[in-house]
Amino acid sequence: MTAAAPSPLVLEWAARQLAVAELRWVRSLPGGTHARTSVVGTPDGAEFVLRQFPPGDDAVRLEIRVLSTLGDLGELAPQLLAADADGTVNGCPLIVTTLLPGRASITPTNPHDFARQLGAALARIHSLAVIPGLTDLFTEPATESPMHSVWHQLTGEPRVLTHNDFWSGNTVWLNERLTGIVDWSGAGRAPRGYDLAWCRQDLVFLYDVTVADVFTRAYDQAFGSPTPDVALWDHFAAMKAYPRVETWAPNYTDLGRDDLDGAGLRRRLTEWMLRLDAG
């Protein structure tokens, strides 16, 4: 979701929290799917990220909690600098974080290297300690749902810290080097394949299954063991995407993939599901 400029009221609040004299809107950040996200800066050039959540959205509390525990990700995680979880400033929950170097990018010159870096980064996330009390994201769907039989085969797998929207648009790049992972508002617990298949699907949309397989091999190597049941996880991710894939079009087109409009995404997903069904 791209963002309009924050209101003067919000900019004044953020400036007070950061103990700076003035903040100005610099630009919107594309690629996120939950909060409105902007870069804001001081007159001398220091820049920060301001995220504005929908009114009453409790996702901000989760993001605050998760960001405070991602120290072991080092430079790949933004640092929380200020928060208004209750939306007291303008009715919308707000957070301010450090700005990671680089920008979202889904058009690399070397897709295989792009995929390898994504795989290694996801393995780092899944290797972190699971934060106590996080929601189990892989819950039982309705018994009449086509996802139920797949869920039943996968639900016994161990849970890891899960980003819950790990796709290339939620990563940051500088000179084709991955420099950060953003948008932690949906994090929880799930088996490894939950994030893995979601990113594999994104890479299929952007490129093809060979790039997705490069990502998986890099992930498995960095994590230290093969991911079980990848084909089943691919089925699960595709069924999860099926009702709403067209709605993702702005996230791809904003980042330079005009071919992945609603019709393009539906076509890619249909082709992917046919391939999965064919084995």
Q: Which residue in 256, 277, 253 sits closest to 265, CA to CA?
A: 253
Angle, alpha carbons 202-207-210 (nearest 5°): 95
Cα separation, 82 vs 47, whole angstroms: 14
Cα separation, 239 vs 265, whole angstroms: 14
Cα separation, 5 vs 272, whole angstroms: 38
> Do 138 and 190 contact (CB within 8 A), yes or no?
yes
Q: Which pair of structure tokens corresponds to residue 140?
A: 């039982």
Q: For residue 32, what pLDDT is reported? A: 53
Over its length of 279 residues, how does the chain's per-residue pLDDT go in tens digits? 445 799 999 999 999 999 999 999 999 987 555 789 999 999 999 999 999 999 999 889 999 999 999 999 999 999 999 999 999 999 999 999 999 999 999 999 999 999 999 999 999 999 999 999 999 999 999 999 999 999 999 999 999 999 999 999 999 999 999 999 999 989 999 999 999 999 999 999 999 999 999 999 999 999 999 999 999 999 999 999 999 999 999 999 999 999 999 999 999 999 999 999 998
Spell out the residues 6+ positions from residue 185 whose beta carbon is closer than 8 angstroms to its own: 34, 35, 53, 59, 60, 62, 63
| Partner residues linked to 247 by β-bridges | none
Q: How far apart are the first and last CA of the chain?
A: 35
